[in-house]
Amino acid sequence: MTHFQPFKGYYPTPEKAGDIAIDSYDNYSKEDIRETLQNNNLSFLNIIQKLADTHLADFYIMVRQRLQRFISAEILLRSTKDSYYIYKKTTAARTYIGIIGLSDVRDLTSGLIKLHEQTFTKRVHVLSQYLKEVQLNSEPVALVYEKRAKLSFFISNHANTHLPLLSFNDENKHELWSIDNPTDTSFVNEEINNINYLLVADGHHRIMSSLQHFQDNPQSPYFLSILFDNENISIEPYQKDGKKFTFEEIKTITSQDELLPPKSTWILPKLKTGLVVFDLK
């Protein structure tokens, strides 16, 4: 059985969410970062940016200080109860909906969570050092499970019958709901903890850095994740002429502890950073 639990997360104040949440840090060039920092003092890049001060010995301390300033100014709010979070992304092509919580990295070592691509040791080490010093997950690892009808109905029904914590538009529409009712969180626990296969769709290096962090800090096995069922993802070839894998094909391959060749797939949706934040401290 997998392990998934609610937590008291940080999220953007609703009226400023569109200015705060960012695309994955890796998507920004140095010029993009400079321009964003100059023009938007609410962007999450202001917390995690690594340009001017990356060479300083106290860089990690500065990240924590900038985070605290956002919290003190109520740019980031904290849930008062342990919660799950439903995230819905609506694009021109389709809608994706999944549930955010904390996964247990020991499910990776036990084989319940499966990687489908190789990782680079140097990148894992860099992210692990960042995690060790900053103690922050701000971009969830995306995990995929085979659809469970009751859970899918619950997620869509909750989104349809409750007001979102926040909603904003860029080129897409982003919505976030909290689940903090004990009856509801208990149902989610029961449903997800009975899942026996989770595929890493996005965040291979992040989950491996969490594993490395756990090996050095056995009291800290949890990492931020978002779970999508297999009907709430799109799998495309990474290269234009590459093979278009199905979820079932990838599940068969990874269940045999094999990996796809590097850069085989491009799995959507891609997620926002800073939309839900897990403070390991």
Q: What is the pTM of this model?
A: 0.95
Q: 90 burial class (0-12, 13-18, 19+ CB within 10 angstroms)?
A: middle
Query: What residues does each domain of the chain span?
Result: 4-15+79-279
172-189 residues labelled b (16+ CB within 10 A) or e (exposed) = bebbbbbbeeeebbeebb
Question: Mean pLDDT throughout 223-245?
Answer: 94
pLDDT surpassing 60 at residue 51 = no
pLDDT digits (tens, 9 = 90+) for 54-88: 556 688 888 999 999 999 999 999 999 999 999 99
Q: For position 56, what pLDDT does the model report?
A: 60
